[in-house]
Copies of this chain bind each other. A is one copy, B any other.
């Protein structure tokens, strides 16, 4: 008789639940609920565009409704009953730390802090802590370079310690009243399992390793001495943090009686340790050695794995390398591009002042052009460069325009630019000994834009597949749930049985590969000239390249001038 697993996927604007057949990955029930608060679920500040918070109350209200709805659909589709569900997995955005009290309750639920945005969840894309991030990077570079090596060389304003320290700096009262800061990926399983003390929350290695510099090698979280060198109160906080963090094959606990009753699920159902959406998305897309999973949306997240029995060197400029963050027994490698779909959208809406229909038209027109025939070349840095330069202060560039250049040519050049950006990441990883033989893409662009996919196949010179599931993150969470429920002895057979790719495969066209190889040579010249490192907060293992020093600072100089003008 069929058994099922439940995946719960917390995105930026909504939460999704997915009920999946453990034998074959068939998706039998799904539901999405949008967060009711703020702007599309995000709490913004009118005068500080770097701030982005979220309401934990939204998480809880939506959780109840979304699981109910998904189970209802599954029952309707298959006649299954709640007692056939054998496990639950959870993925969330991150780093999204939530300040909680000693009873593991979010601080914002205390009426005293209801109006204080610092008491809410600090959403991944909150950048208020940019100054703290730079200081953490500088301090670690001096005294703990190994911390930086694990996270690509630069500690980000989006990450755990930056956010905590920023709260300490701007809201000492709240920071002092807060007992602990729990990542959303750990908070949701803890809620499902009724954990009443922050100390008892089971910590996932995905958030801890990628965002909080956790590593078993150096005894867990960054040492007290290092944290004290930032602020002694951060070192104090460390005492209340767990000293272990786990991969998704570890149980977070068992479902409470109350939740079980609410949803008609068995009491004590095993709940897996949580992980980030991208990482479980890679699981749902069938990640394995040699397969790069690209989750392509407004930006991309690139995930791959390498057996942890082989030594994998630190790869400079790659966002993070954490043992167990994707699959137990494998180093999880995370990279990404700061803007992909966002760049096309910007060009269509802000430059061409068009809508989705124009994007379809431009895609069709761009598809009739030959590679290299426009004489255009662009850098895909309109939102900075996440991998391999790790520099948010880079900007876009386009070269080659004549008086005859068309908007379709420019649009295609932007598609190609993001593919060249993707190739730069692939090349860097392969140079360091991690093989990439095939690419599996997920996301709307992958499913809808055949031109985009063909350009990627031609530029990357590898076959490009599309994930069979359109909701790979939730599917990955469900696979974690299947593992928690002992449907499989290990993660690899679970992935093999429960994931797949679509029949359409984009294969490199040799003539295009040759042209793009030439164009990429030119892209790399621009990349190295404008992206070269110029300042002291530069990624480790990268030194300024001779002869490019003048152009290397140009984008930053323009941004500095822009900021100066904005303040006048």
User: Out of B343, B522, B561, which one reaches A554, CB within 8 Å?
Assistant: B522
A548 to B377: give the CA distance in the assembly, Å: 18
A2 at the interface (CB under 8 A from B): no
- Which of A125-133, A200-208, A313-321, A403-411 lies at the binding interface? A403-411
Q: Which residues of B have CB within 8 Å of A550?
A: 525, 529, 547
A64 to B149: give the CA distance in the assembly, Å: 82
Question: Is B558 a contact of A377 with CB atoms below 8 Å?
Answer: yes
Known: A352-B353, A550-B529. A522 touches B557 (CB 8 A): yes
Known: A352-B353, A399-B396, A555-B399. A371 touches B565 (CB 8 A): yes
User: In chain B, what residue has the closest Cβ to A511?
Assistant: B568
User: Out of B395, B525, B557, which one reaches A551, CB within 8 Å?
Assistant: B525
* A97-142 contacts to B (CB < 8 Å): none
Q: Which residues of B have CB within 8 Å of A557?
A: 518, 522
Question: Is B407 a contact of A396 with CB atoms below 8 Å?
Answer: no
Question: Is B383 a contact of A558 with CB atoms below 8 Å?
Answer: no
A536 at the interface (CB under 8 A from B): no
Question: Of residues A339, A371, A375, which shows the largest number of chain B Cβ atoms within 10 Å of its Cβ?
Answer: A375
What is the distance, in angstroms, from A522's C-beta to the closest C-beta of chain B?
Answer: 5
A562 at the interface (CB under 8 A from B): yes
What is the distance, in angstroms, from A541's C-beta to the closest C-beta of chain B?
Answer: 22
What is the distance, in angstroms, from A67's C-beta to the closest C-beta of chain B?
Answer: 35
Known: A550-B547, A557-B522. A373 touches B403 (CB 8 A): no
Question: Is A561 a contact of B402 with CB atoms below 8 Å?
Answer: no
Known: A350-B405, A525-B551, A525-B554. A399 touches B397 (CB 8 A): yes
Q: Which residues of B have CB within 8 Å of A370?
A: 565, 568
What is the distance, in angstroms, from A320's C-beta to the closest C-beta of chain B?
Answer: 24
What is the distance, in angstroms, from A350's C-beta to the closest C-beta of chain B?
Answer: 6
A566 to B428: give the CA distance in the assembly, Å: 33
User: In chain B, what residue has the closest Cβ to A409?
Assistant: B350
* A534-558 contacts to B (CB < 8 Å): 546-551, 554-555, 557-558
Question: Is A529 a contact of B551 with CB atoms below 8 Å?
Answer: yes
A450 at the interface (CB under 8 A from B): no
A509 at the interface (CB under 8 A from B): no
A526 at the interface (CB under 8 A from B): yes
A470 at the interface (CB under 8 A from B): no
A311 at the interface (CB under 8 A from B): no
User: In chain B, what residue has the closest Cβ to A378?
Assistant: B401
Known: A351-B351, A352-B353, A548-B547. A554 touches B399 (CB 8 A): yes
A398 at the interface (CB under 8 A from B): yes
A282 at the interface (CB under 8 A from B): no
A519 at the interface (CB under 8 A from B): yes
What is the distance, in angstroms, from A415's C-beta to the closest C-beta of chain B?
Answer: 15
A346 at the interface (CB under 8 A from B): yes
A194 at the interface (CB under 8 A from B): no
Question: Is B405 a contact of A401 with CB atoms below 8 Å?
Answer: no
Q: Which residues of B have CB within 8 Å of A40?
A: none
> 10 closest A-B pairs (Cβ-Cβ)?
A396-B401, A547-B547, A375-B562, A373-B565, A397-B399, A372-B561, A375-B558, A395-B400, A400-B558, A346-B403
* A-B pairs with beta carbons under 8 Å apart, 14 shown: A374-B562, A375-B561, A377-B558, A383-B403, A395-B399, A395-B402, A396-B401, A396-B405, A522-B557, A522-B558, A525-B550, A526-B551, A547-B547, A547-B548
Extra pairs beyond A339-B403, A372-B562, A398-B398 (20, CB < 8 Å): A342-B403, A343-B403, A346-B403, A350-B403, A351-B405, A351-B407, A352-B352, A352-B353, A372-B561, A372-B564, A373-B565, A373-B566, A382-B402, A397-B397, A397-B401, A398-B401, A399-B555, A400-B555, A400-B559, A515-B561
Q: Which residues of A contact B (CB under 8 A)?
A: 339, 342-343, 346, 350-353, 370-377, 382-383, 395-407, 410, 515, 518-519, 522, 525-526, 529-530, 546-551, 554-555, 557-559, 561-562, 564-566, 568
